A and B are shown apart, each in its own frame.
Chain A
Amino acid sequence: MSGKKIARKVLFNVLIAALAIFWLIPIVWLVCTSFSAYSGMNTSTFFPAQWSAEHYLKLLQSDTVNQFTTWFWNTFKIACVTCLVSTFFVLMVAYAMSVMRFKMRKPLMNFAVILNLFPGMLAMIAVYFTLKTFNLTNSHIGLIMVYSASSGLGYLIAKGFFDTVPRSLCEAARLDGCNEALTFVNVVLPMSKPIIVYTVISSFLTPWMDFVYSKMILNAGISENYTVAVGLYRMLDRSLINTYFTQFCCGGVLVSIPISILYIIMQKFYVEGITSGAVKG
């Protein structure tokens, strides 16, 4: 290799390394602060003055403000059920819109596009009162319903994938005597592993990240019911931030680890899914 080429290669890699480091600075700060011995927010130095892992221990023990383990478990339960329901809904809608042909197909698709144009925040108070009518506020079931009920509207990516499934396979299944339902279950679904994994993971992640809806619905002040998002957010209340900021950072780190792992897994399947969808335009 010529000297010039080596120099270019080195420069390239240095550039990328610099970008990656730059991108990770806030995350580094998050992790460093979580190992700080000081419980409040440190505004004078980037790295903590004293290092200690004690706040992780404090986080994992419960007190009146912090019930992180309970929150983690709550969010896990909600996420599992949500991802089940959401995946069902999304796949069902995507199959119906992509593979089947019926009179209301185009109107329904347009209607879905229109619904997506409304800001989500607008409907919050109405959803809250709808849940209240059925006594579902301050319950995890209510929260699950909020996250998963409208998930059918997010069918586009899955539909894009189903569009790439060769129609000849479906025809062959029909000739073999399968009705539509069996075609769906026995032929199309097994071929759609990438998109199923993608849908499962992205709907699993929703309850972990959302704090607006959970804050609104879990409003009885009973902190054992909180999800991780609400619980951590409440730690930043101005009367608590001095004592709990480091624990907030610890909580952030602990929550990010499983989410990162899931994202990395999802990345692989997402790229497959998007690619197949993208080629058809």
Chain B
Amino acid sequence: MKMKKILALVLAAVMALALVACGGGNNAGNPGATPGNNTQKDDNANAGEPSPDAGGSTAGETISLTLWGAEEDQSLLVDLVEKFKAAYPDQTFDIKVGVESESTAKDTILTDIEAAADVFAFANDQIDDLIAAGALLPITGDMDAVLQNYAGKTIADIQSANSAATVATATRNDTLYAFPMGGGNNYFLYYDSTRVSAEQAQSWDTLLEAAQAAGSKVGMTLNSGWYNASFFLGAGFTTALNADGSTSVDWNGTSASGVTGVQVVQAMQNIAGHPGFLAIADGDISNQIASGNVCAVISGTWDADPAQTAFGEGYAATKLPTFTCNGQQVQQGCFSGSKLMGVNAYAENAGWAVLLAEFLTNEESQVARFNARQLAPANVNAAADPSVEANIAIAASAMQDAYGVVQSVGGKYWDPAKSFGEQIAQGAIASDDASIQTALDELVAGITAPAN
């Protein structure tokens, strides 16, 4: 009797909750709709819509969209959203703006794709993971018609309006997956010109000596696959993302320029072992700049303000230095970086989301963003503006972009590369050829492991 009643109560309550869930699945118009009953969602989307008419058929219905942007962009985005609404006065919009850091957008989105915002800003290093998870809506096919009808542009227009480098970072298999929003997301060298001259900043050897003479250090993050690849990329090594999600690298062999991986590692060890070098933990660069421990540092445009504050009058930036490898000077390469605005493939109002994303990344918006937070515009016209070119950090970034390589690595790349960089930073690899070759072989085996 007793147990029965316990079970009956549990049962009744559970059923009540389940019925609520069934009822809850009918929220077709909600961006955060429950995914439980897809049939109903489908039916509601079809039934009750006005008869098809290319354009104007959605008037009278509130279009709800959610947008995620970086912390620094919040006030700007609110303004731009108002302008967007004014640009399409026939429609009623309900647009919510939320905060999501551009460097961690992928994590939040992949935890729950359907609950993520319809339009979001992200840094291009996350694009491969987002595409693999089906989180990005390809800007192709029908979207061309949508853009033409409402924004008066074609996809080709957008691709030519923005720099080739940023468009390349947003394109996979000849399909555009996101709108270029900002360039200059690569890294270059900041230095204090009162302690390091422009000449000395050209090559690692002179740079390190100058720093040591000035009683300070040169800082770089080694324990991140994003930064330490620069030595290998500069020497002509490559990475490739395969269709099954695994990565191919050739770093333990010989590159196209005839340099061996062992030689590159030895160059890195020479740099890391120099008393004028400071290996900075990933993410700690801003702190180190701000605390005055370095007179030169490798970072990106996001650290322009701290660098300017720290170096004061001597604030200067230029492309990455060259390093000595096999007796020659090899230019340090980098991964091309950009900031992109993508549309969630699971967005309800996909068409309007695309239009919003396009609006937030068109020329005027990019200029506004540059004025607000000095984000280098991806738009070619905007980038040609004198005030943009006068920005030291952006100019250095553009200089380094000439040596940039589009990042195409799979998920298994990051951890082995991170460990490898840490090994070099801590001096954990002996400097003889055999040990280095073993370490490189381990690195490559880890990177090329099958993707789960």
A: which residues have CB within 8 A of B? Answer: 40-44, 64-65, 102-104, 128, 132-135, 137-138, 216, 219-223, 237-242
Q: How far is the CB of B4 from chain A (nearest CB, A)?
A: 12
Q: Does B148 contact A (CB under 8 A)?
A: no
Supposing A103-B2, A133-B21, A237-B101 touch, asked if A64 and B74 sit within 8 A by C-beta, the answer is yes
Please give, as numbers and ranges, the residues of chain B lying within 8 Å of A40 by CB-CB distance. 286-287, 290-291
Q: Which residues of chain A come closer than 8 Å to B286, judged between CB atoms?
A: 40, 238-239, 241-242
- Give chain A residues whose Cβ lies under 8 Å from the Cβ of B306: 242
Q: Would you give the 0/1 interface string for B257-284, flagging 1 where the beta carbon is closer than 8 Å to chain A?
A: 0000000000000000000000000011
Tell me the nearest residue of chain B to A242, going by C-beta: B286
Known: A219-B112, A241-B286. 12 other contacts (CB 8 A): A41-B291, A42-B291, A64-B71, A64-B74, A64-B99, A65-B71, A135-B27, A137-B32, A216-B111, A220-B98, A221-B100, A237-B101
B115 touches A220 (CB 8 A): yes
Q: Is the CB of A64 within 8 A of B75?
A: yes
Q: Is the beta-carbon distance between B3 and A104 smaller than 8 angstroms?
A: yes
CA A133 to CA B287, docked complex, whole Å: 42
Q: Which chain A positions have C-beta within 8 A of B117?
A: 221
Given A64-B99, A134-B24, A221-B98, the answer on whether A43 and B291 have CB atoms closer than 8 Å is yes
Query: 0/1 per residue, B1-42, Cβ < 8 Å to A?
Result: 011000000000000010011001001000010111000000
**B17: A residues at CB distance < 8 A:** 134
B21 — which chain A residues lie within 8 A by C-beta? 133-134
Per the bound structure, the CA–CA distance linking A132 and B98 in Å amounts to 19
> Are B287 and A241 in contact (CB-based, < 8 A)?
yes
Chain B contacts for A222, CB-based, 8 A: 96, 98-99
Candidate in A40, A102, A134, A239 with the most chain B CB atoms within 10 angstroms? A239
Q: For residue B25, which residue of chain A has the nearest CB?
A: A133
Question: Which of A102, A133, A137, A241 is the one whose CB lies under 8 Å from B36?
Answer: A133
Q: Is A135 touching B287 in the complex (CB atoms < 8 A)? A: no
Q: Are A135 and B34 in contact (CB under 8 A)?
A: yes
- B302 close to chain A: CB less than 8 A: yes
Minimum CB–CB distance from A265 to chain B (whole Å) comes to: 36
**Chain B residue nearest in CB terms to A240:** B71
Q: Which residues of B contact A104 (CB under 8 A)?
A: 2-3
18 contacts between A and B (CB under 8 A): A40-B286, A64-B71, A64-B74, A103-B2, A132-B112, A133-B21, A133-B34, A133-B36, A134-B24, A135-B34, A220-B66, A221-B98, A221-B99, A238-B284, A239-B70, A239-B72, A242-B286, A242-B290
Binding site for A on B (CB under 8 A): 2-3, 17, 20-21, 24, 27, 32, 34-36, 66, 68, 70-72, 74-75, 96, 98-101, 103-104, 108, 111-112, 115, 117, 283-284, 286-287, 290-293, 302, 306
Chain A residues contacting B115 (CB-CB under 8 Å) are 132, 137-138, 219-220
Shortest A233–chain B CB gap in Å is 13
Contact A239 B302, beta carbon cutoff 8 Å: yes
- The residue from B32, B103, B284, B292 contacting A239, defined by CB atoms under 8 A apart: B103
Residues on B with beta carbons closer than 8 Å to the beta carbon of A241:
286-287
Shortest CB distance A103–B (Å): 7
How many angstroms from the CA of A255 to the CA of B53 in the assembled complex? 57
Q: Give the shortest distance, in Å, between A154 (CB) and chain B (any CB).
A: 20
For residue B291, which residues in chain A have a CB less than 8 angstroms away from its CB?
Answer: 40-44
Cβ of A148 to closest chain B Cβ, rounded Å: 16
Nearest residue in A to B24 (C-beta to C-beta)?
A135
A245 closest partner in B (C-beta): B287
| Nearest chain A CB to B179 CB, angstrom units | 20
What CA separation (Å) do A133 and B70 show in the bound complex? 28
Residues of the A chain whose Cβ atoms lie less than 8 Å from the Cβ of B112: 128, 132, 137, 219
Which residues of chain A come closer than 8 Å to B24, judged between CB atoms? 133-135
User: A105 to nearest B CB, angstroms?
Assistant: 11
Chain A residue with the shortest CB-CB distance to B107: A219
Docked complex Cα distance between A237 and B34 (Å): 30
Instruction: Assess whether B290 is in contact with A219, with CB atoms less than 8 Å apart.
Output: no
Complex CA distance for A253 and B111, rounded to whole angstroms: 32
User: Could you tell me if B99 and A135 are in contact, using CB atoms closer than 8 angstroms?
Assistant: no
Q: Which one of B71, B96, B115, B284 has the greatest number of beta carbons of chain A within 10 Å?
A: B71
On chain B, the residues within 8 Å of A43 by CB distance are 287, 291, 293
For the complex formed, measure the closest distance between the CB of B111 and the CB atoms of chain A, giving whole angstroms.
Answer: 7
Contacts of A237 in B (CB 8 A): 101, 104
Q: Enumerate chain A residues within 8 angstroms of B290, measured Cβ to Cβ.
A: 40-41, 242
Which residues from chain A contact B71 at a C-beta distance below 8 Å? 64-65, 239-240
Top 7 nearest A-B pairs (CB, nearest first) are: A221-B98, A238-B283, A64-B74, A221-B99, A221-B100, A43-B291, A40-B290
Known: A42-B291, A239-B302, A242-B290. A223 touches B283 (CB 8 A): no
**Distance in Å: Cβ of A226 to nearest Cβ of chain B:** 10
State in angstroms the CA–CA spacing of A104 and B290 once bound together. 63
Most chain B C-beta atoms within 10 Å of own C-beta, residue among A41, A44, A135, A216 = A135
- Give the residue among A42, A137, A242 with the most B Cβ atoms within 10 A: A242
Q: In the bound complex, do residue A219 and residue B34 qualify as a contact, i.e. CB atoms below 8 Å apart? A: no
Cα A135 to Cα B287 in complex, Å, equals: 40
The reply to whether B20 and A134 form a contact with Cβ atoms under 8 Å apart is: yes
A-side contacts of B68, CB under 8 Å? 221
Q: Cα distance A237–B68 when bound, in Å?
A: 17
* Residue in B closest to A216 when the chains form the complex, CB atoms: B111
Chain B residues whose CB sits within 8 angstroms of the CB of A137 once the complex forms: 32, 112, 115
Measured between alpha carbons, how far is A134 from B25 in the docked complex, in Å? 9
Question: In the docked arrangement, what's the CA distance between A240 and B100, Å?
Answer: 12
Given A133-B34, A134-B17, CB of A219 within 8 Å of CB of B108? yes
Q: Which residue of A lies closest to B291 (CB)?
A: A43
A135 to B100, CA, bound (A): 21
Bound together, the chains give a CA A128 to CA B291 distance in angstroms of 40
